[in-house]
A = this chain, B = another copy of it.
Amino acid sequence: MTTSNKRVAVLSPVAWRTPPQQYGAWETVASNITEGLVARGWDVTLFASADSVTRARLHAVVDRGYEEDRTLDAKVSEYLHISEVFEHAAEFDLIHSNYDFMPLTYSRLVSIPVLTTIHGFSSTNIMPIYQKYRDGYFVSVSDSDRAAGLNYLATVYNGIDLSLYPLQEHGGDDLVFLGRIHPDKGVHLAIEVAKLSGMRLIIAGIIQDEIYFQQQVKPHLDGNNIVYVGPVNVAGKNELFARAQALLHLNTIPERFGLVLVEANAAGVPVIAMDLGSCREVIKDNQTGFLVNNVTEAVRAAGRISEIDRAMCRSRVRQHFSIDTMVEGYERVYSTIFDLEAKRLS
């Protein structure tokens, strides 16, 4: 089939700018999908905050991300932004939602198909909505992060722009933690591993759980061996990757995808990841890092980092987690949807 005449609306969240300046995983992926589709000749309109940056057509009704401008009301921004794409449904052949469960509640009011990439189930409370709309079109971002009964068309792994994360051929001596400061992400376990292995740990990311930070992170910060540098942008991540011997990702709950694992691997940084959720889909044990089950195994893995071929880390990302690979995956999904819709209407 030819897809060049199809018009796609990509709906990004409006918590942050698309792409985000720092944190904002869903906006990052929505941006990568959008730019990847444009690069491959698709007619794409990105629905995102007005300060977003894209080569696609930008359609915006909220000025800035509500997380970046506290004078904005999250609920109001959300309702205004989501309804806007559905009010313009007649201008598109497909709405590709990257914005959680809310857009599903508008999906039956338009005649064009709506594809939802589920970037994560934020709570069990939202399941009644997925159950109601389970016959819609869904994509999971890993095989592990799936809910029973939904009409999944495929798993499409998130893809990154490899040019943003150049290979750091040699890396440095430090361990790096990159992610939200939240118990889910196991910052406390990373600290334990660093102390037991006698290595320096650099911690970067937004503080999402202030009490956790105060009680389980801050007391260990010594300005030398355990250091917190705050949130970092792409340049900051590359600085960390340049001095990283390995990335520590000791998540305490199943990982949905783990974009930072891919970014680290792209830069040639091996990843020591907890074997929970999607980590075993993203990291190939003994090849691009180590999958572990506890702190003891993580310490042992930290002693084996030199066994990992840094170039191999990057080449695996290029193969499985590049924007091109992702967009090819979505093109197959779009094609399936257009075929199904054509049959439904014939």
Q: Is the pair B129, A80 in contact by a Cβ cutoff of 8 Å?
A: yes
A238: min CB distance to chain B, Å: 37
The secondary-structure label for the interface of chain A is: helix
Q: Does chain B have a CB within 8 A of A336?
A: no
Q: Does chain B have a CB within 8 A of A152?
A: no
Q: Is the pair B87, A108 in contact by a Cβ cutoff of 8 Å?
A: yes
Once A106-B109, A109-B106, A110-B109 are accepted as A-B contacts, the answer to whether A128 and B83 lie under 8 Å apart by CB is: no
Which of A61, A72, A87 neighbours the largest number of chain B CB atoms within 10 Å of its CB? A87
Chain A contact residues (Cβ within 8 angstroms of B): what range?
20 to 34
Enumerate chain B residues within 8 angstroms of A110, measured Cβ to Cβ.
109
Q: Does chain B have a CB within 8 A of A73?
A: yes
Once A73-B123, A123-B73 are accepted as A-B contacts, the answer to whether A105 and B129 lie under 8 Å apart by CB is: no
Q: Is the pair A129, B87 in contact by a Cβ cutoff of 8 Å?
A: no
**What string of 1s and 0s marks CB contacts (under 8 Å) between A65-95 and chain B?**
0000000110110011011001100000000
Enumerate chain B residues within 8 angstroms of A101, measured Cβ to Cβ.
76, 79
Q: Which of B75, B87, B128 sits near A76, CB closer than 8 Å? A: B128
Q: Which of B75, B86, B126 sits near A109, CB closer than 8 Å? A: B86
Enumerate chain B residues within 8 angstroms of A108, measured Cβ to Cβ.
83, 87
Q: Does chain B have a CB within 8 A of A6?
A: no
Alpha-carbon gap, A72 to B126, bound state (A):
10
Q: Is the pair B106, A76 in contact by a Cβ cutoff of 8 Å?
A: no
A22: min CB distance to chain B, Å: 25
Alpha-carbon gap, A83 to B105, bound state (A):
6
| A residues adjacent to B (C-beta < 8 A) | 61, 72-73, 75-76, 79-80, 82-83, 86-87, 101-102, 105-106, 108-110, 123, 125-126, 128-129, 132
A224: min CB distance to chain B, Å: 42
A110: min CB distance to chain B, Å: 7
Alpha-carbon gap, A314 to B71, bound state (A):
45
Alpha-carbon gap, A110 to B108, bound state (A):
11
Question: Top 4 closest A-B pairs, CB basis?
Answer: A83-B105, A73-B125, A109-B109, A79-B105
A38: min CB distance to chain B, Å: 28
Enumerate chain B residues within 8 angstroms of A106, measured Cβ to Cβ.
83, 106, 109
Alpha-carbon gap, A231 to B117, bound state (A):
45
Enumerate chain B residues within 8 angstroms of A72, measured Cβ to Cβ.
125
Q: Is the pair A76, B125 in contact by a Cβ cutoff of 8 Å?
A: yes
Q: A79-B105, A83-B109 are in contact. List 16 more A-B contacts (CB 8 A).
A: A61-B132, A73-B123, A73-B125, A76-B101, A76-B126, A76-B128, A76-B129, A79-B102, A79-B129, A80-B105, A82-B105, A83-B105, A83-B106, A83-B108, A87-B109, A109-B109
A120: min CB distance to chain B, Å: 15
Enumerate chain B residues within 8 angstroms of A129, measured Cβ to Cβ.
76, 79-80
Q: Is the pair B86, A128 in contact by a Cβ cutoff of 8 Å?
A: no
Enumerate chain B residues within 8 angstroms of A87, measured Cβ to Cβ.
108-109
Enumerate chain B residues within 8 angstroms of A126, measured Cβ to Cβ.
73, 76
Closest to A82 in B: B105
A125: min CB distance to chain B, Å: 4
